[in-house]
Amino acid sequence: MGKVDTVTKAYMRKNNIFADAFNYLIYDGKPVVDPERLRELDTTEIALPFGLRENEKGPSNDLVQKYRDILKSAVVMQEDEAAYILLGIENQTDIHYAMPVRNMICDALQYGKQVADTAANHRKNDKSFRKRTSGEYLSGFYKEDVLKPVVTLVIHFGADEWDAPLSLHEMMGSQNEKLMHYVQDYQIHLIDPAKLMEEDLNKFTSSLREVIEYIKYSKDKEKLSRILKDNSRMLIDREAALVIKTITNTAIEISEKEEKIDMCKAIDDMLSEREAKGEIRGIEIGEFRMLVKQVKKGRLTIEEAAEDAAMSVEEFRNVTDDMLKEG
């Protein structure tokens, strides 16, 4: 597992962040999913062939196994009724062009696991199991048994707009409409920073808002600068700051002793430290940022900007590494 995967999973595993994501997706930001009522589950999805007895062993290739990023059970109160659901999150730093199939497999395996676990429980604990109907006996799943709904959410930790298919049908391209009516579809649920508007961001109540907003504008330094300036919400938890640092390659210092990180101060400190080290020589930080902006807009070449900043091209690239990822 790479560093990015480790950091994003650790962050999204926090119950308040996890609940915030699903409250945005399902309930338009209303606090319906309670962080206190979330329980983490094993992310290994294993499906056994239906009908396989508890004491029977099929060939090894009969087993299908897949690993989710995060899976939690939730009890959601709706109109005085408790709904028991399973919520899964898949973190994506890169765009995945087969995500509908990937998620469909994970969800299918989870439903298969529920059927297999229910059947195993009946066979072990129900003394009347052999007296059930042939259909119930063979499947191990009784007529009155029910499955827990599974909702999987994909979170894109990237600044580029997600341009991959959002459904199984989209992956099939242009097909005969009558035929496609009979082909089952599967759609993915996605949080994509590039597509979120300001009103969408305001529906988040945790530091997930600041993480998504920073990623969204990470390639627009002018907009990002305005967001960071005098923004009290940019005092965020350490895990959120670590996600921002890792995903956007922002070279800020994050102390292990501090629980809260002031992102505005951290970025100012980063720039001040570079200036103190002579990395930005004979030029004001504001002027330097202007040169970076001119390069990004194609009005200056890197060579010209480096000359104006009294630097070598290599020095200019090093200083602006986090600002000019594409450069």
Give the burial class of 95: count Cβ atoms within 10 A of its Cβ; 0-12 exposed, 13-18 middle, 19 or more buried. middle
The domain segmentation of the chain, as residue ranges, is: 1-206, 219-277, 278-327
Question: Residue 318 — very low, low, confident or very high, per pLDDT cuts 50/70/90?
Answer: low
Question: Which of 255, 155, 253, 246 minimizes the C-alpha distance to 206?
Answer: 155
pLDDT average, residue stretch 152-176: 94
Give the burial class of 323: count Cβ atoms within 10 A of its Cβ; 0-12 exposed, 13-18 middle, 19 or more buried. buried
| Most confident segment among 19-28, 45-54, 290-299 | 19-28
Cα 208 to Cα 17, 233, 305: the distances in Å are 6, 11, 36
Length of the chain equals 327
Is the pLDDT at 140 greater than 50? The verdict is yes
Three-class DSSP category at 295: helix
- Give the per-residue pLDDT at 324: 46
pLDDT digits (tens, 9 = 90+) for 241-280: 999 999 988 878 887 888 888 887 777 777 666 555 545 5
Which residues touch 322 (CB under 8 Å, ≥6 apart)? Answer: 248, 249, 250, 251
Q: What are phi and psi for residue 125, nearest 5 degrees?
A: -115, -15
Taking the model in full, what pTM does it have? 0.78
